[in-house]
Chain A
Amino acid sequence: MNFLIDSLKLIISFDPDLYEIIWLSLRVSFSALFISCIIGLPISGLLSSTNFYGKRTLIIFFNSMMALPPVFVGLILYLLFSNTGFLGFLNLLYTPSVMIIAQVIIILPVIISVSTELLEQIFMEYKEIFDSFDVSLKNRIKTTVFDARIPLITCILTGLGRALSEVGAIIIVGGNIIHHTRVMTTTIALETSKGNLEMAMSLGIVLILISIGVNAIVMTMKMIAKRYSYD
């Protein structure tokens, strides 16, 4: 019980080491989420509103990638970015940048798969209006994504959840270096193995609080949006 009180003390006392780790975690995960949305949503828009050879195969590919083991992603990126690797000259190994790349690879399929399914439903509903007014592909995608913006928040949240809880890939490519690439999940793993349960528990509590906080914000946004929505 004592370690629980000690861990709460760490949080309340604004321990600089703890908050540095929290800040880096949020920076990495939100950056990865933002990049994944920028890349993923147009791909989802295209997949949901066009028919081309191999489209189903591509959707199956992205669906399968959702189950990609993060440790394997970490290993591949390690091989690519290590000194002898193909992209070694970029000197990105053990930096937050490569941690963001790892998280993008992990959450991009989630964003694409979940949002494609949603956008496809809305697109099929609108298809006859689009066809009858000869709407261009660009406008079809824009309209569908815009009208799906509220349910899309849930898809994005799913991606954020995956990013925040990820540990396997970032521990390999980030190296868990103190003051540099140490984030919440990797610290929990390390401190637990060292027996420093206060720190591990503090970060666990913060992770849960962030998760509850983000969900609460999103739920409130959705409730407000629904009140003013036209659905």
Chain B
Amino acid sequence: MIKNTDHIELKNINFIVNKKLFFNNLCLNLSTSGITVILGPNGSGKSLLTKIIKGLIKSESGSLSIKLEKINPLSAYLSQDNVFFRRDVYSNLAYPMKINGYSNDQISQRVNFLLDYFEFDNKEESARRLSEGNKQYLAFIRTLVNKPKLLILDEPCSNLDMNYTKKIEDFLVKNKHDIKIIMVTHDIFQAKRLADEMLLMNNGKVIEVSKKNQFLKSKNILVQKFLNGIFF
């Protein structure tokens, strides 16, 4: 049955990794507003889950349905690998708008606004020659160019200093009412600062998904271990 209300729903997702069923009938309903933070140890399936939500990877079976403000939202994805075209910073940011047919004036207005907002001023430099931190920061800015309604971020601040991290966090908090944000992080403190909803994964299974307050008080032994910094 097709739902008319807003939802982010994954139903009976099966996904095979190295000939083993990694996601086995994974079912998940995420909140349609605010920030959902996905937590879990390495190899738990966090990045895979975000790629499936974005549609970059097709599951073997199951269904994914996303509706925000009653439509299939424009989404943007930030990967852990910050790949850029062999062009300058400005052209890399302009690219997503250019392929969608925006005029040069519209592109220039939007790109310059974002560069000013995030105080990133090396716009004529080669994007590929930036430091890893600057690349990650630029990749984050690039996800915002098309004004997405669903932002999927895979460890957006893993290489960033305090200054850039704060700018990104401030942006996310300020815009979480207009943009649905799904974000993977290993930083439990960042998760506590930003999350409205928290999700813990382990070995391809969802251990717990709930509102932040509930999650932090969870009786689940794995959640408690994770919150106390004990990894499994």
Point out residues on A near B: beta carbons under 8 Å: 125-126, 128-129, 131-133, 135-136, 139, 143, 147, 229-231
* A147 with B86: CB separation less than 8 A: yes
Residue numbers in B under 8 Å from A136 (CB-CB): 99
Residue numbers in A under 8 Å from B194 (CB-CB): none
How many of B's residues come within 8 Å of A, CB to CB?
Answer: 20
Q: Take A128-B56, A132-B56, A133-B96 as given contacts and tell me if A230 and B126 are in contact as well, using a CB distance cutoff of 8 Å.
A: yes
Residue numbers in A under 8 Å from B129 (CB-CB): 230
CB closest chain-A residue, reference B97: A133
A230 to B128, CA, bound (A): 7
Can you identify 19 A-B contacts, CB atoms within 8 angstroms? Answer: A125-B83, A126-B85, A129-B84, A132-B54, A132-B76, A133-B96, A133-B99, A136-B99, A143-B85, A143-B95, A147-B85, A230-B85, A230-B86, A230-B88, A230-B126, A230-B127, A230-B128, A230-B129, A231-B126
A57 to B99, CA, bound (A): 32
- Give chain B nearest CB distance to A227 CB in angstroms: 11
- Give chain B nearest CB distance to A153 CB in angstroms: 14
* B86 with A132: CB separation less than 8 A: no
What's the dominant secondary structure at chain A's contact region?
Answer: helix
A133 to B139, CA, bound (A): 13
Q: Take A128-B81, A230-B127, A231-B128 as given contacts and tell me if A135 and B86 are in contact as well, using a CB distance cutoff of 8 Å.
A: no
Within 8 A of A (CB), among B109-153: 126-129, 146
A126 to B98, CA, bound (A): 16
* B87 with A230: CB separation less than 8 A: yes
Q: Take A136-B99, A139-B99, A231-B126 as given contacts and tell me if A129 and B86 are in contact as well, using a CB distance cutoff of 8 Å.
A: no
Residue numbers in A under 8 Å from B77 (CB-CB): 132
Q: Bits for B56-95, please: 1 = Cβ < 8 Å to A, else 0.
A: 1000000000000000000011010101111110000001
Residue numbers in B under 8 Å from A231 (CB-CB): 86, 126, 128
A125 to B129, CA, bound (A): 16
Residue numbers in A under 8 Å from B81 (CB-CB): 128
CB closest chain-B residue, reference A140: B99
Set A128, A135, A143: member contacting B83, Cβ < 8 A:
A128
Given contacts A128-B83, A230-B126, 12 further A-B contacts (CB under 8 A): A126-B83, A128-B81, A131-B56, A132-B54, A132-B77, A132-B79, A139-B99, A143-B85, A143-B95, A230-B88, A231-B86, A231-B128
Q: Bits for B200-219, please: 1 = Cβ < 8 Å to A, else 0.
A: 00000000000000000000
Residue numbers in A under 8 Å from B84 (CB-CB): 129
